[in-house]
Structure 1
Amino acid sequence: MDQRTRIERKFEKEKIIERDIPDLNKYISHPNVLAILGVRRCGKSTLAETLLRGRNFGYVNFDDDRLAGIKLEDLSRIEKAIYELFGEVEYFLLDEIHNVDGWELFVNRLREEGKKVVVTGSNSKLLSGELATALTGRHIDFTLYPFSFLEYLRFKGIKVEMSNDVYTTTSETNIKRELENYMKIGGFPEALKISEDMVFSIFSDIVYKDVVSRLKIKRMELFKLFAVNLLKYYSNEVSLSKLSKTLKVSINTVEEWFHGLVNSYAVITSERYTQKPREAMVSPKKIYVVDPSFISSIALDSSVGRTMENLVALRLAMRGEKLFYIKGSNYEVDFLTHGTAIQVTYASGKDEVPRREIDGLNNVRAKERIVISWDYEDVVNKVKFIPIWKFLLHP
């Protein structure tokens, strides 16, 4: 009851914005399981609560310290308590239920009994892997990210003014100024509501709650050093073997730590695109961080060009794209997605665009070639130049 009261209080007192996501209602229109996944404190619970608002649903947050140590056999007692409190509910919202070993069996039974279940979690391996095994395809995964730039503007109450599909001068100036702020503050709701300092708390929770405790890592300080160093590779290829030698940790341990951070959604990866499967397997991955605030506050980096590339990677990931990069003998392409080749460069005019960016695009077979710049827009020799703020605002 206390947890349910907190939900009502949140919607009464806090600013809740609409997220730019597909309609998830269709996935719970009949008995099914919807798993809302994503990095800790990106707004998963609020999204799930918004989805079920106005419906009679049973709610349990398993991140509550009062439920610490709960076991699978206790879940039936929780289910009974929900029925006693709220009647014969049709929906269940189970926050961070992967804290309970064997939880997927309980969720599967609820679905078989005709219930519509929404679960949230901050570990992709635990949720998608265990659900896939228990439900054999009878569930949908959706990954949520911290606020996009468009959602950030909406939260700040900044309207994008257009006239005949053209941005007004005032609106364009405001957007560029806010983009610079967004690149520093990022899109974690708590950081925007409370303070930028919340970023340190969020990162610490990811490190200790979602990786250290799940992998039972004993060398906690060394792992934190590894995590911070990994973030510094953002928008670059990362060599785990080099990190292994630098930290004097076995390659197996480094790989386990790396996958732990990927599974916690702290970083996302881009794979090398190649027609040779073995080459793809042994090629290093490029990494991007889940929110620009980690770049400015944790990695302590202020490179505009690399941050721009990270923002483009996040925008593509939010659209559900799998990330690929191309690397030839003497050229590189930042992204290849659905026949579109994309380069990112910090340029405000044609003369500022490095020749290597265009040469890279010309080496690739693609239906469309795009260069995302800071503030240059044009079409030259079938190459489309788009300012990053316009790219980020595109639906």
Structure 2
Amino acid sequence: MNEIKQVLLDQKVRLERKLEKERVIERDVPDLKKYLSRPNVLAILGVRRSGKSTLAETLLRGENFGYINFDDDRLAWVKVEDLHKLEKAVYELFGEVEYFLFDEIHNVNGWELFVSRLREEGKKVVITGSNSKMLSGELATALTGRHTDFTLFPFSFSEYLRFKGVRVEKVKDTYTTPSEGVVKRELENYIREGGFPEVLKISEDFIFTIFSDIVYKDVVQRLKIKRVESFKSFTVNVLKYFSNEVSLSKLSKTLKLSNNTVEEWFNGLINAYVIITSERFTSKPREGMTSQKKVYVIDPGFITSIALDSSKGRVMENLVALQLSRVGEKLFYLKGDNYEIDFMVNGKAIQVTYASGKDEIPKREVEGLEKVKAGKKVVITWDYEDEVRGIKFIPLWKFLLNTREYLSVG
């Protein structure tokens, strides 16, 4: 027991020292603390290294809480029957705590009933996890809706600017000229660096460490993949499809893998938040389920450094997909006869194109919008703004900073 207590005490001290030393960036998230006003389980999910632990700790700052990080190699031995020992150690160290914070508790098989019991005993529990399926099983059944989940992404562009100390000056609906110039320059940097906090704090090269950690800890180990090199090749190939439809059958033939293996690996990347997907927009549910999905990468840094691609239009579309997902929109694309709409979101049709002037906008982008019925039609450009025949043209940087405003009705 003394060894367990030493590990837990060390973890808590490290967490507190880390947050004391580092400048914590305010995240653009809703008021998550309200979900802990009574006994409940709050799950903060998202890709590894996106800042979940930091966000969770800031929610509990000022409270007496027990903290256990299950990603610690010193706790690799823990089985579900050992969790009560850790609970006892927390009480002995910190007293009768009201809150618990568990990092990556899904590393312990069968953890769900343990957390459910804590909640039923009146505790407020925050869990973090880097697997999107961790709430789909026994916990969801055990809690019968008595849990709340929130997905955290790497820094958005507005959070990136906050990290860089860039203040955007806006007078009524107009940005000042110096602010606009700085923001456009920083957008180029954001596309190159991405939004992983540690990459921005340590080095751009740290993106490779993060990528390796995610691949091995959240996919290879979880799925018990033995053909590691084949999986790495598969993953890079999938990333290169960003902002495009992906054919799993073609991938299986190209990489000489079975269809089942490719499907399992592809879903593994989704569950680890390496990629997100967009489904085909259709009135026929079966068609939507069987159609090819479009792929988007969780961070622009992975596109630049891992996929080694800087195609501006596709990168822009990827950024828009991430931003729409951040604000809670489910992604759909529309494919018609001789046209395609990048995003159909809640009655709105959105195209993305790399254009800085009216003459640079491909006719197909506008013609596609004119063929669909939508409550609002938007073209997101690189640096062109106007409204023509009911179609609103918005520069990417403005859309990223004012997403909810541009998605609002009217």
Q: Secondary structure at the match of 2:151?
A: strand
**In 2, Cα distance between equivalents of 1:348 and 1:258:** 36
Q: Give 1:165 shift.
A: 2.9
**Residue 219 of structure 1: aligned partner:** 227
Decide whether aligned partners of structure 1 residues 297 and 54 sit closer, same or farther in structure 2, where only a CA change above 3 A counts: same
Residue 198 (str. 1) matches residue 206 (str. 2): yes
Query: Residues 254-305 of structure 1: CA distance to partner in whole angstroms, max 9, x if unpaired?
Result: 0000000000000000000001122112110001000000000000001011
**In 1, Cα distance between equivalents of 2:249 and 2:143:** 37
8 Å contact kept, 2:113–2:138: no
**In 2, Cα distance between equivalents of 1:317 and 1:128:** 19
8 Å contact kept, 1:347–1:376: yes
Query: Residues 223-250 of structure 1: CA distance to partner in whole angstroms, max 9, x if unpaired?
Result: 0000000000000000000000000000
- One-letter identity of the residue aligned with 1:272: R
Q: What is the aligned counterpart of 1:73 among 46, 71, 81?
A: 81
**In 2, Cα distance between equivalents of 1:359 and 1:130:** 48
Query: Residues 44-93 of structure 1: CA distance to partner in whole angstroms, max 9, x if unpaired?
Result: 00000000000011100000010002111111011011111111000000
Aligned length in residues: 395
Q: Give 1:206 shift.
A: 0.9
Q: Show the 5 A alignment for 1:171-210.
A: 171-210=179-218
Q: Secondary structure at the match of 1:36?
A: strand
Q: Runs of 4+ in structure 1 displaced over 6 angstroms?
A: none
**In 2, Cα distance between equivalents of 1:127 and 1:220:** 27
- Percent identity reads 74
- One-letter identity of the residue aligned with 1:264: A
**Residue 141 of structure 2: aligned partner:** 133
- One-letter identity of the residue aligned with 1:186: G
Q: Secondary structure at the match of 1:370?
A: strand
**In 2, Cα distance between equivalents of 1:308 and 1:277:** 29
Q: Secondary structure at the match of 1:127?
A: coil
**In 1, Cα distance between equivalents of 2:343 and 2:172:** 31
Residue 143 (str. 1) matches residue 154 (str. 2): no
**Residue 38 of structure 2: aligned partner:** 30
Residue 54 (str. 1) matches residue 39 (str. 2): no
**In 1, Cα distance between equivalents of 2:131 and 2:144:** 19
**Residue 176 of structure 2: aligned partner:** 168
CA RMSD, 1 decimal? 0.8
- One-letter identity of the residue aligned with 1:153: L
* TM-score relative to the length of structure 2: 0.95
Residue 83 (str. 1) matches residue 80 (str. 2): no
**In 2, Cα distance between equivalents of 1:135 and 1:233:** 38
**Residue 264 of structure 2: aligned partner:** 256
**Residue 371 of structure 2: aligned partner:** 363
Q: Secondary structure at the match of 1:155?
A: helix
**In 2, Cα distance between equivalents of 1:135 and 1:96:** 19
Q: Show the 5 A alignment for 1:107-118.
A: 107-118=115-126
**In 2, Cα distance between equivalents of 1:237 and 1:189:** 29
Unaligned runs of 5+ in 2: 1-8, 405-410
Query: Residues 175-198 of structure 1: CA distance to partner in whole angstroms, max 9, x if unpaired?
Result: 000000000100000000000111
